[in-house]
């Protein structure tokens, strides 16, 4: 599995999750978008490249509502997107600690899912679940 964190999340957050995921045999990469693509790369372009490569999941706060092309790439072409709820717009350390709580569930769902957009709520409990959303 490979994960890319959109530019609306701190690059250090993705790099930290990569380090924490080293003990997960099936997690190849967790990286910020800007480590793979130029910051100004349009969403449709980098999403298309990820689809071509296969095996990628996207973590973002962006709801990908800008264009039909983006929605098509996510909905029909094999990307799984974890959309962090608006409440995730918190200070860095608060956001980071919450993502560490959610990360095992994100990994579990990513192992079983493709072609899905899932909302990750802010509140975490052992019974917390993702909500499938339309993009």
| Rounded (10°) angle between helices 11-20 and 92-112 | 50
Query: CB 126: neighbour CB atoms within 10 A?
Result: 5
CATH topology for 2-132?
Answer: Rossmann fold (3.40.50)
Indicate the domain borders of the chain.
Answer: 2-132
Tell whether pTM > 0.85.
yes
Question: What's the number of CA atoms in the CB half-sphere (13 Å) around residue 74?
Answer: 27
Distances in whole angstroms, Cα of residue 10 to Cα of each of 13, 57, 90: 5, 17, 12
β-pairing verdict for 56-60 and 131-132 = unpaired
> Going residue by residue through the chain (135 aa), what tens digit of pLDDT does each one get?
999 999 989 999 999 999 999 999 999 999 999 999 998 898 888 888 998 898 999 999 876 655 565 666 666 667 889 999 989 989 999 999 999 999 999 999 999 987 788 999 999 988 888 888 876
């Amino acid at each position: 599995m490979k994960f890319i964190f959109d530019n609306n999340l701190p690059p250090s957050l993705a790099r930290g999750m990569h380090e924490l995921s080293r003990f997960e045999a099936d997690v190849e990469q967790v990286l910020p978008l800007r480590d793979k693509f130029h910051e100004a790369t349009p969403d449709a372009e980098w999403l298309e490249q990820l689809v071509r490569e296969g095996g990628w999941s996207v973590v973002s706060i962006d709801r990908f509502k800008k264009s039909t092309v983006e929605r098509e790439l996510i909905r029909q072409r094999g990307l799984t997107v974890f959309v962090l709820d608006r409440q995730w717009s918190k200070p860095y350390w608060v956001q980071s600690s919450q993502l560490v709580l959610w990360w095992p569930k994100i990994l579990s769902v990513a192992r079983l899912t493709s072609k899905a957009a899932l909302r990750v709520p802010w509140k975490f409990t052992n019974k917390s679940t993702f909500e499938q959303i339309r993009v």
